[in-house]
Structures are given as C-alpha cells and as structure tokens.
Amino acid sequence: MLADQAAIAIRQAQLYAEADRRRQDAERMAENLERSQSSLVKTERLRALGEMAAGVAHDFNNLLSVILGRAELMLRRVREADTARDLEAVRRAAQDGADTVRRIQEFTRTRRTRAFERVELGHVVREVVELTRPRWELEAQAKGVTYAFTVEGDAPPVAGRPEELREVLTNLVTNAVDAMPAGGECHVRLGTEGEWAVMSVTDTGVGMPEEMRRRVFEPFFTSKGPRGTGLGLAVSWGIVTRHGGTIEVDSAPGHGTTFRIRLPIPVTLPDVVVGVPVTVAPRAARLLVIEDEPEVQSVLADMLREAGYGVVVAKDGVEGLDRCEREVVDLVLSDISMPGISGWDVAARLRARRPHIPIGFVTGWGDQLDPERLARAGVDFVVAKPFQAHDLLRHVAQVVMRPARGGR
C-alpha cells in the first residue's frame, strides 16, 4: 500500500511538473506572439504613413527646388553684402525644409536604394562620440553637470551606408544626453550574437514609462516639447530596417534606457565607395531638360547654362522624345511624374530608339526609386529634388566625360 501511494504521489508530482512546464511554454508562446503582432502592426502603420507622406513630400520637393535653386543662382551673381546675407538666409531655410521632408520620407523607407559598402561599426561609433562631443561638453558646462561616454567591445564589419548608420548613432547619443539632465554615463557596447553584429547604447538617465517606450519609434511622437520634431527615432527605425536589422528599446522610469541594434553580418563585403570630384562642363555638350513644372524647368536650365552646357527644354515627354529625334542631344534629364507619358516611358523609348543617349532622372521621389528597376530602364543616375547645384553638376559631368554607348 505504501508503495502504491508513493507511486501515485510521484506520478502526480510528474503530472504537476509537466503541466507547469506546459503553462510556462504557453505563456512564452503567447508573449512571443503578442510581440510579433505588435511589431507587425507598428511596421504596417509606419508603412501606411509613409505612403501618405510620399505624395505630399513630392509636391514640397518641387516647390523647394525652385526656392533653393534660385537662391543659389542669385548668390553667385550678387555683390552686395546685405543682399547676399538675405539670400543665404533664404537658401538655408529652404535647405532646412528639404531636410525635414527627407526625414518624413526616411522613417518608412525600407527599400535599399543606394549601394552598400563596408562599414566598420567601431569606427562609426567612435566617430559619432567625437562628433557629438562639442554639444554634450557645452551642455555639461552650461548645466554644471558631468557626462561620461565609454565605448566597449568590437563588432565585425557590416554592409551598409556609413552616413546613415552615423545618423542612427547620433540620434541615440543625443537622446541619451537629453535623458540625463543631471548628468550621467552613456555606455556604447559592440558585440556579436551568432550571425548578427550588435550595438547597444545605455544611459543612466530618467528612463521612460511603458506607454512612452511602446510609442518611441512613432513619427512625430516626442517627449521634448517644442524642441523635438519626433522624427529622430522614427528615422533611425527606418534606416536600421533598411539595413536588414532590428532596433529595440528597454527602459523603466528611474532606471535609464538601452537601445539595442542588431545588423546582419554579410558573407561577403562590398568595397568602400570612393567619391568622384565635381567637374563642371568638362566638354561642350548639349543637354535636354524634360520637366512639366515651368519654374523647376527654368532653374535646371539656368544652372546648366551657367556651368557652360548647351541646354534645350521640353514641357513633357512627347515633346522631349520629338527633340531627341530631330536634334543632337548628349544627355537627357527628365522628371518622372508628368502628364501624358512618364519619365519611365521616356527612358524605355530612348533605350529602344536612341540607346547611345544617357538619361538621368531629376525627381521629387528621390532615392525611393527601386535601383533594380532603374538599372533595367537604363537610367544612368538620379538627382533628388530639391537639388543643389554641385550635386546636379557632378552627376552630369561624370556622364558627359564617359565614352558614349554605341555610335550615333
């Protein structure tokens, strides 16, 4: 009887233990499912906001192209100091507006649109700490507090855009300083987890309540009042996602905050991209500008003429293709969204009938365009609106200096 009772007790204990394990497994599965659903909802919400913002950004980019372009052209011509100062204020304001539009576009852009290169994460982190040092040292002096920054560990190189990853780290370091009004420490750690390179930024600041932590990557959500745009962390989320990684936040009131970034370690790494210096009008060339917005068309034409190029213009794709049939053209610059036929149609017909003529897009959609589609269409380069003269002329000069594709 004792043996039977002992066996029953042992079996019941085993059943209880198994039930407890199943309960814990079910809780973990439910927690993982909730986290996955939350991440999916956030991703889709940001994607929907991005699609809505894209059309608005396109229109603003056209307007800012005119303001920025005219201001740059007038700055080259004026001699009066007062007028130059006023024009520089206009140019700077237009550029600030362009940067704001870019941030709105950035936070949901998950497609990679520029070639990746080898990025040493340790170098990026240390560079960001030094670049932000003047700000947090001045802030510390003004408040009479102390900030301490440390960088620990190392991580393997990844494939990415160094300027974009610098922007992410700069946002996180800046937020860490803002979260420590009484001073504190910020620790940046690098490491590896399996096939992932890991970066974490931990501060000893005020921390965040759960509601704020859940919304921290939402665009336009900020706890900084009028000082904040609410786009910094949303942009960071978009950049990390575009690099195939993840960014998470762990925080609690009074216990600081940790942002954790995971980036995939590639099997092979691309080479470092080396820039080509700007060259203006390396040879006499005749350029065709296809643009349906008269003011944008005029700014483009004036910039190119001042650089020494011959310029003809067309108000739409049909007129532009007709000019290519009747006249000698060394390069076509075309908008994409136009009445009648689009820039994509212009590119397709040029490739079929005049394959030797290079084509570049000057568009408010900027680098949201799919690079694979651009390559299939035979587009040589893209200049995003609002454009700056040096960027436009650099692309044009590189193509003009290149040997022609086939005979004329």
- List, for residues 85-107, the tens digit of each pLDDT value: 888 888 888 887 777 777 666 65
pLDDT, mean of residues 2-11:
84
- Residue 259 sits in the same domain as residue 295: no
Evaluate if residue 24 carries a pLDDT over 70.
yes
130-169: per-residue pLDDT in tens?
Answer: 888 888 888 888 888 999 999 999 999 999 888 889 989 9
Q: Tokens 């590189």 sit at which residue?
A: 398
Report in angstroms the alpha-carbon separations of 223 from 35, 145, 213, 231. 24, 22, 11, 12
| Average pLDDT taken over every residue of the chain | 83
* 111 lies in some domain: no
pLDDT at 314: 94
Residue 370 near residue 110 (C-beta atoms within 8 A): no
* 256 lies in some domain: yes
Q: Whole-prediction pTM value?
A: 0.55
- Residue 243 sits in the same domain as residue 304: no
Order of all β-strands in the sheet with 310-314: 310-314, 286-290, 331-334, 359-363, 381-384
Share of the chain above pLDDT 90, in %: 36
- Residue 235 sits in the same domain as residue 296: no
State the Cα–Cα distance between residues 320 and 304, nearest whole angstrom.
17
pLDDT, mean of residues 337-354:
91
- Residue 150 sits in the same domain as residue 219: yes
Evaluate if residue 226 carries a pLDDT over 70.
no
171-186: per-residue pLDDT in tens?
Answer: 999 999 999 999 999 9
* 366 lies in some domain: yes
- Residue 161 sits in the same domain as residue 239: yes
pLDDT, mean of residues 56-67:
81
pLDDT at 193: 93
- Residue 322 sits in the same domain as residue 255: no
Evaluate if residue 245 carries a pLDDT over 90.
yes
Decide which of 232, 264, 296 is a domain's last residue: 264
pLDDT at 278: 46
pLDDT at 225: 53
State the Cα–Cα distance between residues 205 and 15, nearest whole angstrom.
47
- Residue 358 sits in the same domain as residue 312: yes
DSSP state of 71: H
CATH number for the domain harbouring residue 215:
3.30.565.10
* 138 lies in some domain: yes
pLDDT at 302: 92
- Residue 126 sits in the same domain as residue 225: yes
pLDDT at 234: 82
CATH number for the domain harbouring residue 352:
3.40.50.2300
pLDDT at 29: 78
pLDDT, mean of residues 28-45:
67
- Residue 164 sits in the same domain as residue 258: yes
- Residue 359 sits in the same domain as residue 245: no
State the Cα–Cα distance between residues 102 and 185, nearest whole angstrom.
32
pLDDT at 276: 41
pLDDT, mean of residues 378-401:
87
Instruction: Give the range of the structural domain holding residue 341, as residue numbers without chain letter.
Output: 286-401
* 180 lies in some domain: yes
pLDDT at 78: 84
276-292: per-residue pLDDT in tens?
Answer: 444 456 677 899 999 99
**Closest by Cα among 360, 286, 295, 296 to 327:** 286
In the chain, how many domains are there? 2
Report in angstroms the alpha-carbon separations of 273 from 118, 160, 162, 260, 371. 8, 11, 10, 27, 17
* 229 lies in some domain: yes
* 10 lies in some domain: no
Query: What residues form DSSP beta bridges with 287?
Result: 311, 331
**How many helices, marked H, and strands, marked E, lie in the chain?**
11, 12
Ranges of beta strands (E only) in 6-139 are: 117-119
* 134 lies in some domain: yes
